[in-house]
C-alpha cells in the first residue's frame, strides 16, 4: 500500500514511518523541516520503498496514495508562537490541500488532532462527546472605546492606539515594563458590557474579559468579568514600580553668543524643582520693540521668565532654587503681597516657550524616564504651585487637560494612585486627586447592552494600565497568544480525529455572483462574493459578518478566513416561496430544521422542493446615525463652489493681504486683483478653495452655489426631513445632467416642494404635470457621489442600512409616499415597488432590521421587470409605527431564524471560482439574494500531543538546570508513549469507525509528580523551581479511552517509568552529540 505521511520527519511522523516501513508499505514522507529533521528518518533515505519530498503543504501538490496520515503542524508553543500566522496557514491551507488530494485520489484520510480541543475541561475524564471548555472561538475579550491605555507617550484612547506604540504592563514582581503589543484587537461587538466603577477605577469590558485582581489571601489572579463572584472581596491594583534612572545633569545647549549669563547645564534635581514651579505658576513674556542704533531701526525682543508665589515659605523655596540655576533673577512683592520672580534670559525662555500657556502646558516626556526620587522633586514643586495637601493625599488643579493627565501619570510613577476629574462644570479646569496606591475593592458590575467597536491588546505580561473617565487601575487583557486562532479552527472538529473525507466538502461554497453581507471595521458592505474577496485582499483582521448563534439569535462575529478556489462540478440555484434565492455548489450546506426545530446543515444535493431552509427574520446591524453636516464636506466638485456669507466683506477686509498673496500665487494678474475682490464683495461670495485656505469657520448660515447657479443652504440640520427626501428620491427621483427630477402625485409633490425649500432654501421648477425639477449641480453631486446613491444606476447605499430605526423610518416614509402603492386597508400589508433588484434587496435587509420578513416577486410591466416587496401578516401598516409592529406569519421560526419552503431547485454546471467565509464557532453567514443563512467552511486544525512537559523536564535535568514547575504543580496530565500512539493511529486508519477517538494514556499524574520522577531518574540533585501559572493552563487532562477500547481494541501498554527511561536515553544521546554553542 502506498502511504503518504505529512510531517513525516517530525517526532510522531518519524515513529509512524518506522512502523509503516517495517510493515512493508511504500511510504512517501512530506516535510518542510520547520520542526522535523532528516536525522529522524535517516535510516530510510536509501530504501527503495521510501521517498522523501521537501515541500510546504500550504502549497498544493499532486501525488498518488492509498492512505494519507496528516501530521504536519508545529505542536509546541515555542514553535507555534514563533510564526503563528504560518502555523494557521499550515492548519488551514495545508489541511485543505491534503483533503483535496485525498478526495482526488480517493485515499483514506487521517487527521491527528489534539487534546487542546478540550481547553481547560470541566468534565473529567474527557470523552469524545465533550465539546470542551475553550473560550478562544468567540469574541475577543475587550474594552469599550472610552477606555484609555497608558503608553510610553502617555494616555491614549484605544481607538487612537498605534500598534507599534509601547504600552505599560505589570510583571509578576510588580514592576512596570513597556512592551510593544503582540496583537492589537479591534472588532465590532453587539451584546452585554460589564462596567465596574467607583471613585477609584472604571472598567468597561466584555463579559469574557479577564480582570486582574488580588484576593483576600493576597494572591494575584485573573477572573472573568462574568463570573459569579462576591466582587467586593476582590481588589483592583492601582499602583506599580515604574523604575527609572538617576540623571545628573539637564543640558540647556549652547547659549546665545550675546547672552550676559551663559549656562550650559544644570543639576537635574534643581532643574526638576524649577520646572515644577514654572509649570504651575510661571509664564514667558516676550516683548517686541523697535530699537534705534546708529540711525538704523532694529526689531528686538525682551525675554522674561516670570514665576509668582503667594506663600512666603514657597517664595523662599523658589528663590533658593533660582539661585542654584546660575541665572540672574529679581524678586519683588506685588500689591497683592504675591512674590514675583523674573529671570531675563532668552536662552531659558526659548526652552520654556514650547510648554505653552496655562491651558496648554504639559510635562515633557523625557522627564518621565528619571528615577522615582527625582520625579518626587518635580511632583512636590508642582503641588506647591497649584496643589493642596491634606494628610497623605493631594489635589492638583490645571486649566490644561494634558497637564492634568501628565500629573496623574507623574503621581503614579511616584508611587501614588490618582484620578482626573473635571473640577468645574462648563469650565476648562481639571483636578487630579492623588492618594496612596492602595488596592481598591471592586464593586458588582453594572450590565448594559452595547453596539459598537471594542478594543484590546495582547502583551507578554497580560496586564495593562487602563483609564476610563480619568480613573486608572491595572486590568487584565485579551489573553490568547498565537494559538487562539488555531484553537478556533480546531473547534469545528471538536469531534477529534474525524477522518470522514466529507469534511473537505464544506470548503466548496457560494458562486462568485452571490451577495454577502459583511463589515470591515464598522463599515457595512453588501456586494457579490467576488468583489468581497478582492476588497478584503487577504486582510481579515477586521472583517466580521452577521450570523446566528447557538440560541439562533443574530449576532455579528469576526471571520477567521475567506476562501476562493476553482471548482468544476454541479451547482444548485435554490429559491424559496418568498423569493429569496441562493446559488451554491452541490456539496455546500444550507440550514434545515431538525425534529427539535434546531438548525442543522444539509448539503445542497440533498435538498428537495418543499424542504424548509433558514432565512433571517431579524438582522443585527452596527448602527451609525447620520449627523447634521455641511454639504461641502460631502461633495467632490469643491473647486467650482463659492460660499455666500454675511461675513464676506469683513473677511475680505480682515484677510485682504492674505487673499492677494494667495491669488498671486495662483497666477492671477496683479492688475486684476481689485476687480476680483470687488466681485467677491458684490456677490457676497468667496470661492470655496479660498475659504479653505483662509481657514474660515463654517456656521449654519452660509449658502453655497456652483459657478453662477442659484445658492442653496450648506448646512443640513433637519436629518429626518432630509432622509425623507432621499427615500422619495429612491422611489421617484432621477438625475439628468445637473437636474434632480421627481415624479409623483400632486399632493406628494407639493409636500416635496415644501421640504426642499425648508432644507435647501431653494425653489423647485414645475416641468409638466406630475413632475418637478431642482436645477443644482451641487445636489446632483451630493446624492449621486457624496452619499453614494449612484448616478447611472440608482441604489440604496450601505450606510442607510446602518441608520438607527428612527432615522430609517423617515427614509422609508419618503420611499413609501413616493411609491404610490395603493394601501391595502383589509390586510394591513406594507408594499414597495422598484425596477431595481439592488434596491429590492436592500429593502428586504432594512425590513429585517425591524424583525420583518418580506417576500419578493418579479412582475412584468410593459416589458420592464418590476420587483414587488411585500410584508404580510401585520396588524398595522403605518410606517411611522414600524419599530413596534408585530408580524404573524404561517411559517415556523426558531429565534431569529424563520423557515422558508423551497419553491424550486435548478441544477447548473460550475467551472469557475467559488467563495466562502470561515466564521469560528458560528459556522454560518448571510448570503444570496434577499438573505439566506449559509453554512460556512471552518478550517480544521492539527496539533500533535507532543508531551512537551516531559521534554522540558528531561532536557533541564540532563543539562543540570532547575526543573521549572508552573503554579504549585497540582495540575494533572496523562502521558502516552509514542509507540502506543502510533499503534492507535494505525488501528484507527484501518477500520471503519471514523472517530473522533481519544488516543492517550488514562493514567493521571500531577506535574509535580512527573518532575520528581524525572528528577529521581536523571539527576537527584537537580533543583525544582516554581513560576506563576500561565493564565490558560488547564487544571486537568485525562482521556476517556472507552471508544478506543471498543472500536479499536486499543489501550496503552508502555508504563510511564519504562517510557520515560527510553525517552531519557534518547535525549541523553542527542544532547551528547549536540555541537557546542558558539
Q: Can you give the length of the chain in residues?
A: 1078
Assess whether pLDDT exceeds 60 at residue 497. no
Confidence at residue 383, expressed as pLDDT on a 0 to 100 scale: 94
Domain check: are 1009 and 1035 in the same one?
yes
Q: What CA–CA distance (Å, rounded) separates 121 from 136?
A: 13
Q: Which residues contact 692 (CB under 8 A, 6 or more apart)?
A: none
- Phi/psi for 1059 (5° steps) reads -65, -40
389 lies in some domain: yes
Three cell numbers at 269?
Answer: 534635581
> In CATH, what number is assigned to the domain containing residue 1030?
3.90.25.10
pLDDT digits (tens, 9 = 90+) for 736-760: 888 899 998 888 999 999 999 999 9
Question: In whole angstroms, what is the distance from residue 173 CA to residue 220 CA?
Answer: 11
Same domain? For 60 and 167 the reply is no
- Say if residues 940 and 597 touch (Cβ distance below 8 Å): no
Other Cβ atoms less than 10 A from the Cβ of 559: the count is 22
- Residues 6+ away with beta carbon under 8 Å from 307: 277, 278, 281, 282, 318, 340, 341
Mean of pLDDT values over 668-696: 92
In the chain, what is the greatest distance between 2 CA atoms, to the nearest angstrom?
113
Mean pLDDT lowest for which of 175-184, 243-252, 330-339?
Answer: 330-339
pLDDT in tens, 955-975: 788 888 888 888 888 777 777
The CATH number of the domain holding residue 426 is: 3.10.28.10
The CATH number assigned to the domain holding 580 equals: 2.170.16.10
Q: State the average pLDDT over residues 423-431.
A: 76
- Enclosing domain of residue 229: 148-193+200-240+447-479
Q: Are residues 183 and 255 in the same domain?
A: no
What's the mean per-residue pLDDT of the chain? Answer: 83
Return the SS3 of 109.
Answer: strand
Cell reading at 792:
447611472
**Which range in 645-659, 857-871, 916-930 is most confidently predicted, on average pLDDT?**
645-659
Residues 454 and 394 occupy one common structural domain: no
> What does the pLDDT read at residue 1069?
75
Element at 274 (helix H, strand E): helix 268-281
| Whether residue 225 is found in the same domain as residue 292 | no
CA distances for 1012 relative to 235, 736, 953, 964, angstroms: 36, 85, 10, 11
Q: What is the pLDDT of residues 883-911, one digit of tens each?
A: 999 999 889 999 999 999 999 999 998 87
Cα–chain center distance at 381: 42
Query: Could you tell me if 254 and 350 lie in one domain?
Result: yes
In a domain, 712, yes or no: no
In this structure, how many other beta carbons lie within 10 angstroms of the beta carbon of residue 847?
Answer: 22
Do residues 7 and 70 share a domain? yes
Check residues 1053 and 5 and name the one with the higher pLDDT. Answer: 5
Residue pLDDT, tens place only, 975-1015: 777 777 778 788 777 777 665 677 777 777 788 888 888 88
Q: How far is 10 from 13, CA to CA, in rounded Å?
A: 5
Q: ∠ CA 610-614-618 to the nearest 5 degrees? A: 135
Domain shared by 552 and 473, yes or no: no
| pLDDT confidence of residue 453 | 87
Residues 6 or more apart in contact with residue 848 via CB below 8 angstroms: 616, 617, 618, 619, 854, 931
> Which of 405, 431, 457 is the last residue in one of the domains?
431
Contact between 619 and 931 under an 8 Å Cβ cutoff? The reply is: yes
For residue 424, is it within any domain? yes
The 10s digit of each residue's pLDDT in 583-637 is: 888 767 788 988 888 888 777 878 899 999 999 999 989 999 999 999 999 998 8
Quick check: is 768 in a domain?
no
pLDDT: which is higher, 820 or 271 = 271
pLDDT at 1031: 45
- Statement: residue 500 has pLDDT above 70: no
Read off the pLDDT of residues 244-273 as tens digits, 9 standing for 90 and up: 999 999 999 888 887 888 899 999 999 999
pTM over 0.95: no
Task: List, for residues 510-541, the tens digit of each pLDDT value.
Answer: 677 888 999 999 999 999 988 998 888 767 88
Going 673 to 675 to 678 to 684, the CA torsion angle's sign is: negative
Q: Is the pLDDT of residue 78 over 50?
A: no
Q: Residue 855 to residues 50, 842, 869, 1039: CA-CA distances in angstroms?
A: 62, 13, 6, 51
The backbone region for 969, taken as left when phi is positive above 0, alpha when psi lies in -120 to 50, beta otherwise, is left
Is residue 415 scored above 90 in pLDDT?
yes
- Domain endpoint, select from 877, 904, 935: 935
Backbone angles phi, psi at 862, to 5 degrees: 50, 50
Flag whether pLDDT at 486 surpasses 50: no
Neighbours of 1071 (CB within 10 A): 12
Cell numbers for 1010: 512527573
**Where residue 110 sits, what CATH number does that domain have?**
3.40.50.720
pLDDT at residue 783 tops 80: yes
- Residue 833: inside a domain, yes or no? no
Across the range 497-512, mean pLDDT stands at 37
Does residue 146 carry a pLDDT above 60? yes
Instruction: With beta carbons less than 8 A apart as the criterion, state whether 517 and 620 touch.
Output: no
Residues 20 and 118 reside in one and the same domain:
yes
Helices (H), 587-671: 648-654, 656-665
- Label residue 74 by pLDDT band (50, 70, 90): low
Per-residue confidence (pLDDT) for residue 870, from 0 to 100: 93
Asked, for residue 80, whether it belongs to a domain, the answer is: yes
Written as one string, the DSSP assignment of 971-1001 is: -EE----HHHHHHHHHHHHTSS-------S-
Contact by Cβ (8 Å): 715, 702: yes
The total number of structural domains that make up the chain: 5
| Eight-state DSSP code of residue 1074 | S
pLDDT value of position 1077 = 45
At residue 390, does pLDDT exceed 60?
Answer: yes
Confidence of residue 825 (pLDDT cuts 50, 70, 90): low
Residues 10 and 117 in one domain: yes
DSSP lists the bridge partners of residue 230 as: none
Measured CA to CA in angstroms, residue 737 lies from 67, 511, 517, 775, 1027 at distances of 67, 37, 33, 9, 74
pLDDT for 490: 31
Q: Tell me, yes or no, whether 357 lies in a domain.
A: yes
pLDDT in the model for residue 587: 65
836 in any annotated domain: no
Give yes or no: residues 172 and 120 share one domain.
Answer: no
Output the nine-digit C-alpha cell for 578.
Answer: 418568498
Whether residues 288 and 406 share a domain: the answer is: yes
pLDDT of residue 163: 77
Cβ contact 613:636 at 8 Å? no
Amino acid at each position: 500500500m502506498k502511504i503518504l505521511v505529512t510531517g513525516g520527519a517530525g517526532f510522531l511522523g518519524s515513529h509512524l514511518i518506522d512502523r509503516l516501513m517495517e510493515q512493508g508499505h511504500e511510504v512517501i514522507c512530506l516535510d518542510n523541516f520547520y520542526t522535523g529533521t532528516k536525522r529522524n528518518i535517516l535510516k530510510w533515505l536509501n530504501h527503495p520503498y521510501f521517498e522523501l519530498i521537501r515541500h510546504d503543504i500550504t502549497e498544493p501538490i499532486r501525488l498518488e496514495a492509498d492512505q494519507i496520515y496528516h501530521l504536519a503542524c508545529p505542536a509546541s508553543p515555542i514553535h507555534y508562537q514563533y510564526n503563528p500566522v504560518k502555523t494557521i496557514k499550515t492548519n488551514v491551507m495545508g489541511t485543505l490541500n491534503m483533503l483535496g488530494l485525498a478526495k482526488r485520489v480517493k485515499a483514506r484520510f487521517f487527521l491527528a488532532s489534539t487534546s487542546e480541543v478540550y481547553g481547560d475541561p470541566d468534565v473529567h475524564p474527557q470523552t469524545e462527546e465533550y465539546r470542551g471548555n475553550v473560550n478562544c472561538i468567540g469574541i475577543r475579550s475587550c474594552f469599550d472605546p472610552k477606555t484609555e491605555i497608558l503608553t510610553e507617550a502617555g494616555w491614549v484612547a484605544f481607538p487612537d492606539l498605534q500598534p507599534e506604540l509601547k504600552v505599560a504592563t505589570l510583571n509578576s514582581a510588580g514592576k512596570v515594563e513597556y512592551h510593544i503589543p503582540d496583537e492589537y484587537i479591534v472588532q465590532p461587538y453587539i451584546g452585554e458590557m460589564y462596567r465596574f466603577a467607583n471613585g477609584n477605577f472604571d472598567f468597561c469590558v466584555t463579559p469574557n474579559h479577564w480582570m486582574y485582581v488580588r484576593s483576600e489571601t493576597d494572591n494575584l489572579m485573573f477572573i472573568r468579568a462574568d463570573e459569579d463572584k462576591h466582587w467586593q472581596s476582590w481588589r483592583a491594583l492601582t499602583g506599580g514600580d515604574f523604575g527609572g534612572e538617576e540623571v545628573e545633569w539637564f543640558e540647556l545647549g549652547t547659549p546665545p553668543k550675546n547672552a550676559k549669563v551663559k549656562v550650559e547645564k544644570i543639576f537635574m534635581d534643581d532643574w526638576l524643582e524649577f520646572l515644577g514651579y514654572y509649570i504651575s505658576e510661571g509664564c514667558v513674556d516676550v516683548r517686541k520693540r523697535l530699537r534705534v542704533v546708529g540711525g538704523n531701526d532694529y526689531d528686538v525682543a525682551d525675554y522674561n521668565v516670570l514665576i509668582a508665589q503667594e506663600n512666603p515659605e514657597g517664595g523662599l523655596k523658589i528663590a533658593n532654587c533660582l539661585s542654584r540655576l546660575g541665572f540672574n533673577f529679581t524678586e519683588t512683592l506685588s500689591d497683592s503681597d504675591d512674590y514675583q520672580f523674573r529671570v531675563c534670559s532668552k536662552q531659558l525662555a526659548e526652552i520654556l516657550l514650547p510648554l505653552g500657556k496655562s491651558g496648554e502646558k504639559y510635562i515633557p516626556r523625557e522627564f518621565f524616564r528619571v528615577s522615582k526620587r527625582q520625579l518626587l522633586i518635580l511632583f512636590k514643586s508642582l503641588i506647591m504651585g497649584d496643589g493642596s495637601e491634606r494628610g497623605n493625599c493631594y489635589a492638583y488643579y490645571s486649566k490644561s487637560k494634558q497637564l492634568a493627565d501628565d500629573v496623574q501619570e507623574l503621581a503614579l510613577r511616584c508611587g501614588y494612585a490618582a484620578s482626573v476629574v473635571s473640577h468645574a462644570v462648563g469650565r476648562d479646569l481639571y483636578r487630579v486627586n492623588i492618594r496612596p496606591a492602595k488596592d481598591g475593592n471592586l464593586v458588582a458590575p453594572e450590565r448594559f447592552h452595547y453596539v459598537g467597536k471594542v478594543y484590546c491588546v495582547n502583551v507578554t505580561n497580560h496586564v495593562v494600565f487602563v483609564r476610563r473617565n480619568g480613573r486608572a487601575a491595572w486590568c487584565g487583557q485579551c489573553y490568547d497568544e498565537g494559538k487562539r486562532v488555531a484553537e478556533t479552527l480546531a473547534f469545528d472538529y471538536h469531534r477529534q480525529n474525524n477522518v470522514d473525507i466529507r469534511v473537505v466538502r464544506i470548503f466548496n461554497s457560494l458562486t462568485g455572483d452571490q451577495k454577502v453581507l459583511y463589515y470591515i471595521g464598522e463599515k457595512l458592505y453588501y456586494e457579490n462574493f467576488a468583489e468581497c474577496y478582492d476588497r478584503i485582499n487577504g486582510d481579515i483582521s477586521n472583517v466580521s459578518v452577521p450570523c446566528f448563534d447557538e440560541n439562533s439569535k443574530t449576532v455579528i462575529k469576526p471571520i477567521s478566513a475567506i476562501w476562493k478556489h476553482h471548482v468544476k462540478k454541479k451547482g444548485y440555484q435554490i429559491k424559496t416561496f418568498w423569493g429569496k434565492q441562493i446559488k451554491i455548489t452541490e456539496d455546500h450546506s444550507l440550514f434545515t430544521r431538525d425534529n427539535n426545530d434546531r438548525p442543522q446543515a444539509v448539503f445542497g444535493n440533498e435538498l428537495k422542493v418543499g424542504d424548509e431552509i433558514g432565512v433571517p427574520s431579524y438582522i443585527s446591524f452596527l448602527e451609525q446615525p447620520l449627523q447634521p453636516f455641511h454639504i461641502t464636506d460631502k461633495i467632490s466638485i469643491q473647486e467650482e463652489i463659492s460660499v455666500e456669507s454675511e461675513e464676506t466683506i469683513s473677511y475680505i477686509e480682515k484677510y485682504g493681504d492674505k487673499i492677494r498673496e494667495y491669488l498671486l500665487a495662483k497666477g492671477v494678474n496683479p492688475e486684476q486683483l481689485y476687480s476680483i475682490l470687488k466681485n467677491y464683495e458684490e456677490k457676497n461670495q468667496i470661492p470655496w478653495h479660498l475659504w479653505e485656505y483662509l481657514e474660515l469657520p463654517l456656521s449654519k448660515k452660509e449658502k453655497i452655489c456652483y459657478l453662477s447657479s442659484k445658492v442653496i443652504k450648506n448646512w443640513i440640520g433637519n436629518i429626518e426631513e432630509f432622509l425623507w427626501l432621499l427615500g422619495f428620491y429612491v422611489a421617484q427621483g432621477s438625475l439628468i445632467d445637473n437636474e434632480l427630477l421627481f415624479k409623483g402625485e400632486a399632493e406628494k409633490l407639493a409636500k416635496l416642494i415644501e421640504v426642499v425649500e425648508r432644507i435647501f432654501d431653494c425653489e423647485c421648477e414645475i416641468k409638466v404635470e406630475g413632475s418637478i425639477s431642482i436645477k443644482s449641480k451641487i445636489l446632483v453631486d451630493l446624492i449621486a457621489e457624496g452619499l453614494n446613491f449612484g448616478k447611472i444606476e440608482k441604489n440604496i447605499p450601505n450606510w442607510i442600512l446602518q441608520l438607527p430605526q428612527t432615522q430609517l423610518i423617515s427614509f422609508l416614509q419618503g420611499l413609501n409616499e413616493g411609491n404610490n402603492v395603493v394601501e391595502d386597508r383589509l390586510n394591513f400589508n406594507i408594499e414597495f415597488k422598484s425596477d431595481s433588484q439592488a434596491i429590492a434587496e436592500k429593502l428586504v435587509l432594512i425590513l429585517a432590521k425591524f424583525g420583518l420578513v418580506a417576500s419578493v416577486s418579479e412582475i412584468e410591466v410593459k416589458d420592464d421587470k418590476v420587483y414587488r416587496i411585500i410584508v404580510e401578516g401585520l396588524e398595522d401598516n403605518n410606517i411611522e409605527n414600524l419599530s413596534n409592529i408585530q408580524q404573524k406569519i404561517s411559517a415556523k421560526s426558531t429565534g431569529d431564524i424563520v423557515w422558508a419552503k423551497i419553491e424550486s431547485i435548478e441544477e447548473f454546471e460550475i467551472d469557475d471560482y467559488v467563495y466562502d467565509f470561515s466564521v469560528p464557532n458560528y459556522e454560518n453567514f448571510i448570503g444570496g439574494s434577499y438573505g439566506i443563512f449559509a453554512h460556512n467552511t471552518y478550517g480544521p486544525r492539527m496539533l500533535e500531543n507532543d508531551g512537551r512537559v516531559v521534554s522540558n523536564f528531561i532536557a533541564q535535568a540532563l543539562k543540570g538546570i532547575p526543573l521549572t514547575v508552573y503554579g504549585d504543580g497540582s495540575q494533572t496530565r496523562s502521558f502516552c508513549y509514542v509507540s502506543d500512539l502510533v499503534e492507535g493511529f494505525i488501528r484507527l486508519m484501518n477500520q471503519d469507525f471514523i472517530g473522533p477517538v481519544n488516543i492517550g494514556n488514562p493514567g493521571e499524574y500531577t506535574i509535580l509528580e512527573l518532575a520528581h520522577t524525572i528528577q529521581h531518574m536523571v539527576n537527584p540533585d537537580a533543583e525544582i523551581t516554581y513560576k506563576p501559572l500561565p493564565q490558560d493552563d488547564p487544571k486537568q487532562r485525562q482521556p476517556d479511552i472507552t471508544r478506543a477500547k471498543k472500536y479499536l481494541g486499543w489501550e496503552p501498554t508502555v508504563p510511564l517509568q519504562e517510557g520515560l527511561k527510553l525517552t531519557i536515553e534518547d535525549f541523553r544521546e542527542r544532547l551528547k552529540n549536540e555541537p557546542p554553542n558558539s
